Amino acid sequence: MSSSALESPTSGLQHRQERSVLDDQVEDIYSGSSDTSFKDVTEFDTAGAAELLQDPDVRVIVLEKHKSLNSPGGTSRTDITVIKELQKNFNRRFRFATDHSHKSPFFGFYTLFWVAYGWAIIRAGIANFMNNGQVFGTLITHILLRDILWVFLADLAMYCASFFPFLLQLSIKHGYISWDRSGWVIQSLYQFVYIIFFLHIPSKYKFPWIGRTFLVLHSIVFLMKMHSYSFYNGYLWTIRKELDEAKQQLSVATSTNKKEEFQKIIRFCKAEIALQSSDIKFPSNISLKNYFSYSSFPTVVYQITYPRTKVIRKTYVLKKLCAIFGIFFLSIIVAEHYLQSPIMNSIAVGKEPLADRFKKYPVLLADLVAPFTMIFLLIFFMIWDAILDTIGELTRFADRNFYGPWWNSQSWDEYARLWNVTVHRFLLRHVYYASILSFRTTKQNAAFLTFFISSLFHELVMFAIFRKLRGYLMLFQLAQLPLTALSRTKLLKDKPVLNNILFWIGICTGPSIVCSLYLVF
């Protein structure tokens, strides 16, 4: 904020006024009226009200609802009371299997699920061995191993290149660059060049589709990490600049009213910076150690400190590693035995005349539904429950709220919030809220923009896999908006079973339809 802006009695509280726009959304999240599930750090040794204050969303409520601006800074007793009340509304992270899962009334169904999967895999393995003399086929294994060293080196290069935001913030810290003037422009341009360059590498060197998909997905993860780190600290640089300018204006102000307004601005800025962390104060967080830790954590939303566990449970890591490799090999068997043949048939049909494609398409789609659903569930469990949990345990990252019970979803917006909580948080902070604050847009337009940007990146992944730019997945994802509105009409409202049935029909058929469209048309 410029000095001239600070001279206005009302503009000095601009940040606080802008935050009030988000009041009802944030209140919904924490009052329990929203299905969004955030972390419950009470189950960790580092728990407590002071720890919860490090959560940016909690901080918004404290600043807005309980007027931390009126205190000289830091954490007041009133704030601690508020945090403890909010703590009661937090949902514990969900896991398919926990130490107490055997006490669940649905424990037997969980066991039956894996027994059924196991029997299907055993049958597929026996069939492969009888036909080919080996449990695993050759095609998928060959694709996985092909150019694996080059894929690893490309991924390592992506990781090293993701440290640029730290160097930029370090330059700002030492006064070489200003975030408001050129810093955010440099960061935005770098992000654009970064994603374009690392999308080009897999295509240029003709990596196999599995390697291409992995690199594209990982490049998007690094992109989100860089953006969150840069613009989180960029916001704090703006607050710090506003604080310095307010102090300067206060020293020369003559009007009592203006002095009071500048004092409010100073209190707000001090409280905003102080509430980021109780341990590390901004800008001390801009260090190689802090960024390296953030880069290794299974999250794409930056904050100065995170809740941490005290020890690494070796037996827990071993159990999760067994789950990773076990599900990985199960996925290969399912893909080779149940999915490979329908995929090859779809590719062959895609070369036929258009009229013949339409005739054969329903049969192809029917063959793809079951194996695609199996692969979807296996991959989800492997990534969100096994891999991310393993990384979290190895890095002592305590917030393991990677997903919620999305299988109970009754609408597509509920599914979008629950199936990938980490990315949902990123979109909520850096797209949804940012568009409301920066562009003064409505909630509806912000929601559409969030879905649109998300669908663009999903379409990018499809382009990496199929090397076709069709927009099928983008259209299907945007179709979730009218479907969400439909679920809230009198026709479907208050019909949880019917809505969940419709949701599962979409989950089972959606991936198959999208894949077959890219293959056939």
Positions annotated as catalytic residues are: 458
Residue 275 DSSP symbol: T
End-to-end CA separation in angstroms for the chain: 52
Sequential DSSP letters for 197-260: HHHHHHHHTT--HHHHHHHHHHHHHHHHHHHHHHHHHHHHHHHHHHHHHHHHHHHH---HHHHH
Bond before 362 cis per omega within 30 degrees: no
Classify each residue of 299-323 as buried b or exposed e, where b means 16 or more C-beta atoms within 10 Å of its C-beta. bbbbbbbbbbbeeeeeeeeebbeeb
Calculate the dihedral angle through the C-alpha atoms of 51, 53, 57, 60, rounding to the nearest 10 degrees: 180
Using CA of residue 276, residue 281, residue 286, residue 289, what is the dihedral sign? negative
Q: In sequence order, what are the beta bridge partners of 397?
A: 308
What phi, psi does 397 have (nearest 5°)? -85, 115
Do the Cβ atoms of 517 and 472 come closer than 8 Å? yes
Report d(CA 374, CA 367) in Å as an integer: 13
Rounded to 5°, the CA angle 205-214-212 comes to: 25
Of how many residues is the chain composed?
A: 521
Nearest CA to 519 out of 74, 209, 158, 93 is that of 209
Using CA of residue 132, residue 134, residue 137, residue 138, what is the dihedral sign? negative
Residue 281 DSSP symbol: -
Do the Cβ atoms of 361 and 513 come closer than 8 Å? no
Phi-psi region of 25 (alpha: psi -120 to 50; beta: other; left: phi over 0): alpha
Token pair 């009007």 in the structure block, residue = 255
- Residue 484 to residues 248, 495, 513: CA-CA distances in angstroms? 51, 14, 20
- Residue 297 to residues 37, 257, 314: CA-CA distances in angstroms? 19, 47, 18
